[in-house]
Amino acid sequence: MMASCALDLHIYKAWCSLLDQHLGRKMRHHLTELLHNVSAVDQAIKPSYLLDFGINASSCHHFVEDLNRTGCVKTILNIYQMGTDLLVINPRCIQVLQQCTNLESLYILTDVSSGLAKPQTIKKKLLFEELLQSIKLLPFSLDKIAMFDIDVTDINLTTMFGILLGYPFTYWFERETEENCLSMIPLRCLKVTRTIHIQKERIKHN
């Protein structure tokens, strides 16, 4: 599946400048990925984006603040620090998710616990209710670019990441062990791509 969108050249240049300023020029080769994904979160195409680059939390916070200040993103975004991971969050998506009364209608949980011969779909309403309670505890701010350090002690991070990243199929497993039953299971991967077209600045003639 493919989609496309347009981006003004001056916005693209601002992205480049802010990336160099806050995250360092060594991150320039990740520019396209960051631009695609943070823009998708900004537009609520996806609820969040996992920054898997070892970025400093404070630098990420200032980066997102300046993206908003310069108009590179239009929405007030939040940042979650979950263990060693950082996610850029659209807080309105979290707000909508917390108001959901039937989580099992939005997501399919798949049990991949190591004790199973193969993955199984979970239909336990109690598990969905427990997951929703964890979601309702997630903080967010609609007023400012905020960063929150999330306590992950009682959270199945694999499942929560799946929910926050907007995956319709999400893994769940018994937390006593991090092993799973997927090693011998053939997996089918689906990929959604989006192309950003950089629009040249228009030159005014007198």
Give the pLDDT score at 91. 98
User: Is 75 inside any structural domain?
Assistant: yes
Average of per-residue pLDDT across 81-89: 95
Per-residue pLDDT band for 5 (boundaries 50, 70, 90) equals low
Mean pLDDT of the chain: 88
User: Is 124 inside any structural domain?
Assistant: yes
User: Is 120 inside any structural domain?
Assistant: yes
User: Is 206 inside any structural domain?
Assistant: no
pLDDT tens sequence across 32-49: 999 999 999 999 999 999
User: Is 153 inside any structural domain?
Assistant: yes
pLDDT tens sequence across 47-81: 999 998 889 999 999 999 999 999 999 999 999 99
Place of tokens 């929150």: 148
Q: What are phi and psi of 157, to 5 degrees?
A: -60, -35
Residue 154: other Cβ atoms inside 10 A: 9
**Alpha-carbon gap, residue 181 to 152, rounded angstroms:** 23
User: Is 205 inside any structural domain?
Assistant: no
Give the total residue count for the chain.
206
Is residue 197 within 8 Å of residue 5, measured between CB atoms? yes
Q: β-strand 48-51 against 85-89: which pairing, if any?
A: antiparallel
Contacts of 24 (CB under 8 A, 6+ apart): none
**Alpha-carbon gap, residue 168 to 105, rounded angstroms:** 10
183: pLDDT strictly greater than 90: no
Which two structure tokens, joined as six digits, stand for 143? 């007023």
Domain that holds residue 114: 2-199
User: Is 113 inside any structural domain?
Assistant: yes
Is residue 64 within 8 Å of residue 77, measured between CB atoms? yes
Average of per-residue pLDDT across 139-157: 95
User: Is 204 inside any structural domain?
Assistant: no
Strand order in the sheet with 147-150: 48-51, 85-89, 78-82, 147-150
Total structural domains within the chain: 1
Which two structure tokens, joined as six digits, stand for 139? 């903080």
**Alpha-carbon gap, residue 104 to 120, rounded angstroms:** 15
